[in-house]
Amino acid sequence: MKLSGLVERISGEGAEAWDIHITAQRAANAGEDVIVLSVGDPDFPTPAPIIDCAVQALQSGDTHYASVPGRDKLRDTIAADFQSRTGVSTARKNVYVFAGTQNALFSTSLILLDHGDEVIALEPMYVSYEACLQIGGAKLVPVAQPADNGFRPDIDLIKAAITERTKAIVITTPNNPTGVVMTRDELTSIASLAIEHDLWVISDEVYTDVIFEGEHISIAALPDMAKRTVTVNSLSKSHAMTGWRSGWCIAPTSLAQHYDNLALCMLYGLPGFIQEASIHALTDQRDASLAMRDIYQRRRDLVCSELAKARDLPVLKPQAAMYVMVDIRHYFDNGNEFSRALYNATGVSVLDAGAFGKSAYGWVRISFTLSDEKLTEACRRIVQFVGTLS
Ligand SMILES: Cc1ncc(COP(=O)(O)O)c(C=O)c1O
């Protein structure tokens, strides 16, 4: 039986990279001695008051259809938060609530991008971008953020990739997997290109609250950019709420109004109890989020200093997020081979960073979403493993 063309468009590369992760997760669930460093899910529990808030809402009968764009109070809270961080005048009508950054990006892609359009995304990029951005028939044009340049954006490469068909540029700051936080100069150069070529910018800022060094700047805050920028974000990483699926878009009114019809047929609103818990997270749980950030920073330092004990294994110290990038090219051609050999020898699973784009071929991504003890042990095994390689 024939299926739709969409099936092709969403079957991206990189599936192989997840094989080791899936194997390791199964082994971990079965109680085997494995250490899973291949996933970006915070190990912290969601702060208890946020859970209490959801439970109270459920018990008080908040179990029916909820407002599709998001409850007024939640949209107001998100708008006020964004405005206070960026200085961009943001109102309820600019905010649309979705099921995580992923769903916000997916929806934005459907609203903005058509068959025949090209969308530039800077790689290494989050693995689901490929399918998400091509879902409506647009062509993804990956632009390298070269490893030699510390995985920072190369403005000339972006410029060279712009054609008459380019409709949008997607940026991720801070970046997954590299932890790079874009500087004001980098963002200003990207903004100038967007203005010159009349492009939309989609800015994924899901790691905004997990920054250790560098200042987070939203590209929407640069002159003349708010009217052409969609910012996507969520509570997944900031509040250890990946499973709640609470996220949003912030967009100019001209665009935000069009989310309505899409959301009506696609999602029909986030559950009310999740919206109530999200309001509480944003208004009263900033300290909990900051405390998690501090722990991530400590873990980052721990992993970097432990891995420095390995021979010929350069590590890129991340400015943000929850991953360390490790260059394994001295030993293997690609990250997948390294990950497989490492897992088979030690039970430590890491992710082939090549799954995030060509620039990261020969690198692996190590998540620091486990306790200090587990991370120390994982690093010990990695160092020992590398010591056995010639
Ligand atoms: C860069 C990036 N964007 C989006 C997502 C998806 O986040 P959410 O849980 O908000 O859908 C992730 C998750 O790891 C990510 O790393």
190 and 59 belong to one structural domain: yes
* Helix locations, the chain, DSSP H: 6-9, 15-29, 48-59, 72-86, 100-112, 129-134, 155-161, 184-196, 253-256, 259-266, 272-284, 286-307, 335-346, 372-387
- Residue 239 inside a domain? The answer is yes
168, 77: one domain = yes
Collapse the DSSP code of 190 into the 3-class scheme (helix H, G, I; strand E, B; otherwise coil) and give the result. Answer: helix
Work out the end-to-end distance of the chain between its first and last CA atoms, rounded to an integer number of angstroms: 51
The reply to whether 229 and 361 lie within a common domain is no
Residues in contact with ligand 1 by the CB-under-6-Å rule are 40, 100-102, 126, 172, 176, 204, 206, 234, 236, 242, 247
Say whether both 42 and 52 belong to one domain. Answer: no
Atom of ligand 1 nearest to the CA of 172: 1
**Which mutation among 102, 127, 233 tests ligand 1's pocket best, with the greatest number of atoms within 8 A of CB?**
102
CA of 102 to the centre of ligand 1 (A): 6
Distance CA 162, CA 168 (A): 9
Query: Among 38, 109, 232, 237, which residue has the most ligand 1 atoms within 8 Å of its CB, making it the best to mutate?
Result: 237
Separation of CA 61 and ligand 1 centre (Å): 30
Task: Please check whether residues 39 and 187 belong to one and the same domain.
Answer: no
Confidence (pTM)? 0.97
Q: Determine, yes or no, domain membership for 226.
A: yes
Q: What is the pLDDT along the chain (390 residues), one digit of tens a residue?
A: 888 888 888 876 666 778 899 999 999 999 999 999 999 899 999 999 999 999 999 999 999 999 999 999 999 999 999 999 999 999 999 999 999 999 999 999 999 999 999 999 999 999 999 999 999 999 999 999 999 999 999 999 999 999 999 999 999 999 999 999 999 999 999 999 999 999 999 999 999 999 999 999 999 999 999 999 999 999 999 999 999 999 999 999 999 889 999 999 999 999 999 999 999 999 999 999 999 999 999 999 999 999 999 999 999 999 999 999 999 999 999 999 999 999 999 999 999 999 999 999 999 999 999 999 999 999 999 999 999 997
Residue pair 231/187 in contact (Cβ under 8 Å)? The answer is no
In a domain, residue 343? The reply is: yes
Name which residue sits closest to atom 14 of ligand 1, judged by CA. 40
**89: in domain:** yes
Reported residue count of the chain is: 390
Assess whether 52 and 42 both reside in one domain: no
The CATH code of the domain that includes 154 is 3.40.640.10
Are 166 and 55 within one domain? yes
Provide the 8-state DSSP code for 372.
H
Residues 14 and 61 grouped into a single domain: no
Please identify, among 268, 284, 300, the residue that sits at the C-terminal boundary of a domain. 284
Question: By residue range, what is the domain housing residue 361?
Answer: 6-46+287-387
Please check whether residue 1 lies inside any domain of the structure.
no
Distance (angstroms) between ligand 1 centre and the Cα of 235 equals 10
- Residue after which a domain boundary falls, among 284, 311, 345: 284
